[in-house]
A = this chain, B = another copy of it.
Amino acid sequence: MSAPASKGLSRALRQVKRPSLPKSSLRPTFAICQPRRSFKSTPVKREDTSEQGHKVKYTTDMYPSLKRDSRFSEITSDHVQFFKSALGDDAAVLDGVTKDAADDLEPFNSDWMRKYRGKTNLVLKPKNTQEVSKILKYCNDHKLAVVPQGGNSGLVGGSVPVFDEIVISLSRMNNIRGFDDISGVLSVDAGVILEVADNFLAEHNHLFPLDLGAKGSCQIGGNVATNAGGLRLLRYGSLHGNVLGLEAVLPDGTIVDDLSLLRKNNTGYDLKQLFIGGEGTIGIITGVSVICPQRSKAVNVAYFGLESFEKVQAAFKEAKIQLSEILSAFELMDGQSQGFVHQVTGNKNPLEGEYPFYCLIETSGSNTEHDSEKLEKFLEHVMGEEIVLDGVLAQDESQLRSLWRWREGITEAIGHFGGTYKYDVSIPIQDLYKLVEDTRERLQSKNLIGDDDSFPALGVVGYGHMGDSNLHLNVPVRRYTKEVEEAIEPWVYEWIQKRNGSISAEHGLGIAKKKYIGYSRSDNMIRLMKQIKDLYDPNGIMNPYKYI
């Protein structure tokens, strides 16, 4: 039935103002991007279906072409002795060289996704920057390869060893060094857990300008080393802008003492930027200072249905105009992604009808009344103009969490059926969803998608941070097959390359994307990057076999 616009608008707005959302006890924070570390205890289906049973395959089995770099020395008991004496504390050295410590070492050898597994026999836990310097200088002098490790919550295998690289864990460097509640500048050891810092800041009405699902375990040093993106980037920008200072240690033991607490300091090359997103390949970050914004008092969430990706773009454009300074998230979920969440959780969809696209909008501001008024006016406009077909607005925090769950729950829901081919990519916004459509068409034309068990793939799903032009392309499968893999790769990377996209928007390179960097960077850029690597790490001991 087609009703006049004004009538449809009024009906829809009533619904917007009187949502009846299912109450459920969901996770207490708005984790979206990366599942929390606690998933470790309930591994996702993808891993269960591997043929490894409980043991994770060694990375070297997954990448048989990788050979241990013969430049690196083997670790001896003399080395272990040096580290014990340098760290002055036996507990700071997990020694699997002179004795059996396999169980203790396992958490440092494998990642939380149970996807990568190394063979280290030695973990060092320095407690201050000087100790990191001593360790690195010794390793560099003795050609011992190392892997810096923070919360080990990465998604590309960057924080676990491949062979017997020494793990340098920053977990004991966990002091908040200082906070100035006038300037908002926070200074921390690299090993401070993101959530600990954010909770500390909450007590002072401030906010860490980065948030992500793994906040309960990831460390700020690791966040900076991987240039983590997460939930607050749309509003607060990237770590390249928010990190004011860094302290880091180079392989030769040099301490890069650039831990400025100043917002402005134009005195020379901004070298710290090389460590932001450097993934521990040129040095180890030991301290970070960051500018933190005021915490918002008011948070609102709305959830819409839309008929096309063109309408999604129009809604985003309107949100930027009308919500402007209070817009803190604009997330995209396609119909199929929401179908999977519904199918797996059994939760009633927030909207009555079904739509090809859904968006979740969050606003954060200092005045509840003003923000609600802006949001309602925005909703009135986008519904009146039929940019949005239907929508609901959370009336309390529980509803707000329920709505976020339709975005957050996608990863888990999709993983329910077997495995998932996952791609985290940036694409110019106009083409963002076309990748999903083209991938779907491609798999359909090869007869690889279908409703029954004879088809390996269940569908092609797209969702992500619309506000950052960051798409998560997921292909849920009943089983991993060579046909599906060959249909997708390297085709998907070529597709992205043609549109000047990025093959890794926020997850980094690690070991998983190392070989694909050429799809997003020119030969010139890769050569210049290698030049930087050689400059700082001429022996190549820092996090080898990864990155570039």
Contacts and interface: CB of A to CB of B under 8 A. Distances in A.
A447 to B, nearest CB: 33
Interface in A459-496: 465, 468-470
A255 interface: yes
A241 interface: yes
A88 interface: no
Nearest to A322: B366
Interface string A264-276: 1111111101101
A117 to B, nearest CB: 23
Interface string A230-269: 0001000110111000000000001111101111111111
Contacts of A374: 366-367, 370
Contacts of A373: 367, 370
A263 B470 contact: yes
Contacts of A270: 227, 240, 273-274, 276-277
A267 B370 contact: no
A356 interface: no
B522 A324 contact: no
Contact of A524 (B227, B237, B254, B513): B254
Interface in A508-545: 508-509, 513, 517, 520-522, 524-526, 528-529, 531-533, 535
B271 A528 contact: yes
Nearest to A319: B294
A317 interface: yes
Contacts of A317: 181-182
B320 A268 contact: no
A502 B264 contact: yes
A531 B535 contact: yes
Contact of A365 (B267, B325, B364): B325
A55 to B, nearest CB: 30
B469 A265 contact: no
A58 to B, nearest CB: 26
A504 interface: yes
A240 B426 contact: no
A213 interface: no
A271 B522 CA distance: 13
Interface string A495-511: 00000111111111100
Interface string A291-316: 00110100000000000000001001
A324 B430 CA distance: 32
Contacts of A296: 324-325
B521 A268 contact: yes
A183 interface: yes
A104 B242 CA distance: 44
A384 to B, nearest CB: 18
A150 interface: no
A508 B269 CA distance: 10
Number of copies: 2
Given A366-B322, A373-B370, A528-B256, A267 B183 contact: no
Given A238-B241, A241-B241, A524-B256, A513 B321 contact: no
A525 B278 contact: no
A241 B237 CA distance: 7
A264 B324 contact: no
B180 A429 contact: yes
A226 B271 CA distance: 15
A450 interface: no
Interface string A146-188: 0000000000000000000000000000000000111110000
Contacts of A316: 182
Nearest to A229: B264
A461 to B, nearest CB: 20
A212 interface: no
Nearest to A527: B254
B509 A266 contact: yes
Contacts of A529: 268-269, 271
Interface of A: 180-184, 205, 226-227, 229, 233, 237-238, 240-242, 254-258, 260-271, 273-274, 276-278, 282, 293-294, 296, 313, 316-317, 320-326, 364-367, 370, 373-374, 426-430, 465, 468-470, 500-509, 513, 517, 520-522, 524-526, 528-529, 531-533, 535, 547-548
10 contacts: A182-B316, A238-B241, A260-B502, A262-B426, A265-B504, A266-B277, A266-B507, A267-B504, A269-B277, A273-B274
Given A238-B263, A266-B277, A267-B520, 15 more contacts: A183-B469, A237-B241, A240-B241, A257-B525, A262-B469, A262-B505, A263-B469, A264-B505, A265-B504, A265-B520, A268-B509, A269-B277, A269-B282, A323-B366, A370-B370
